[in-house]
Amino acid sequence: MDNPLVTTEWLAAHLDDPKVRIAEISQLPERDTYREGHIPGAIWFFWKDICWHDTDREFVSPEKLAARFGAAGIGPDHTLVLYGDPVQYGTYAYWAFTMAGHKDLRLLDGTRTKWTREGRPLTKDIPRFAAVDYPPPSGDASMRLGREAVRAGLGKPGRMLLDVRSPEEYAGERVMELGKFDHGAERAGRIPGAVHLYFKNLLNDDDSFKSSAELDRIFRRVGVTKKSPDEVVVYCRLSHRATLTWVALTRILGLENVRIYDGSWTEWGSIVGFPVER
């Protein structure tokens, strides 16, 4: 898989490219930050509205993706550049849209943080694109793992569980990051046997990914290489931070044995009878 990251320079040169669409994926359902200023041409999406099923706790299907994208003026042949607010919401959308089947997805490396630090333009203009036809693509959910498969594999030789939450969450002191209301699961702790790697260690201070050489060294320190383990299962609280780690491992470093437990700690820490380690 080619590295999907595009630089701020590349995006600046393609703002008027009719083959390119840009989307801001927001953590919050309000458009306040977007209205204050966004990258020119960027469409706004609230992450749940675009990445999830309308009612079920399930991801967007290929059919629903086609309908939503087509209505927004995104066609099957468009290069779609995503940036998150914050960064992990862009990688979450990238992962969800990959499963739903859009073929040409890109991520703005450094998201809005790097873009604005470089003094690049923002606008308050809201783009309007005519609806287009988008036949449902072929999906692929092979990069996803459910709770029963995670539990069945506890202690399995060759499988690593990688917990990329904050140190306080991993230690069982909180179920949410410091500085935020502590909610999201009934119990604090971690999945038994999970190894810890804080996701922010993969980023520079401008929210861009560290170099491939740096990422390789970081993952090697926790025991992840292209040859070992046989399988890596990544999780966090709700899988946003896990998707950023998945992008680093699969798209930047080229590992093929990585999947995400998308229910993550919000689900695991609330299920009756599932084991918790502290």
Domain boundaries, the chain: 5-117, 144-268
Q: What is the pLDDT of residue 148?
A: 98
Query: Is the pLDDT at 1 greater than 60, yes or no?
Result: no
DSSP label at residue 167:
H
CA distances from 47 to 51, 85, 94, 97, 146 (A): 6, 10, 11, 11, 21
- For the chain, what is the mean pLDDT? 97
Q: How many Å apart are CA 108 and CA 51, to the nearest integer?
A: 18
CA distance 210 to 157: 30
**Catalytic pick among 108, 234, 236, 242:** 236
pLDDT, one tens digit per residue, over 39-50 is 999 999 999 999
What mean pLDDT is predicted for residues 188-203? 98
21 residue type, one letter: R
For the chain, percent of residues with pLDDT exceeding 90: 99
- Residues 103-122 have a mean pLDDT of 98
Mean pLDDT of 12-23: 98
pLDDT at 129: 98
SS3 51: helix
End-to-end CA gap in the chain: 37
Question: Rounded mean pLDDT of 192-216?
Answer: 98
pTM exceeds 0.85 for this model: yes
236 catalytic residue (yes or no): yes
Is there a cis peptide before residue 29, judged by omega within 30 degrees of 0?
no
User: Given this model, what pLDDT does residue 2 score?
Assistant: 80
Strands of 195-241, DSSP E: 195-196, 231-235
- pLDDT for the residue numbered 156: 94
CATH number of 5-117: 3.40.250.10
- How do residues 86-98 score in pLDDT, each as one tens digit? 999 999 999 999 9
Which of 230, 242, 232 lies closest to 266 in space, CA to CA?
Answer: 242
For residues 262 and 51, give the distance between their C-alpha atoms in angstroms, rounded to a whole number.
13
Equal fold, 5-117 vs 144-268: yes
Distance CA 98, CA 103 (A): 7
- Alpha carbon dihedral 108, 251, 264, 200, in 10-degree steps, equals -60
Residue 64 phi, psi (nearest 5): -70, -40
| Nearest-10 Cα torsion for 236, 42, 46, 241 | 0
Q: Average of pLDDT values for 18-23? A: 98
- To which H or E segment does residue 26 belong? strand 20-26
Looking at residue 209, what DSSP letter applies? Answer: B
The length of the chain, given as a count of residues: 278
At 244, which helix (H) or strand (E)? helix 240-246
| pLDDT of 112 above 80 | yes
Distance of CA 57 to the CA centre of its chain: 17
Q: What is the mean pLDDT of residues 131-155?
A: 97
In this prediction, residues 178-207 reach a mean pLDDT of 96
Q: What is the pLDDT of residue 145?
A: 97
Mean pLDDT for the stretch of residues 47-63: 97
Residue 140, CA atoms < 13 Å, CB-side half-sphere: 9
User: Would you place residue 235 in the very low, low, confident or very high pLDDT band (cuts 50, 70, 90)?
Assistant: very high
144-268 topology per CATH: Oxidized Rhodanese; domain 1 (3.40.250)
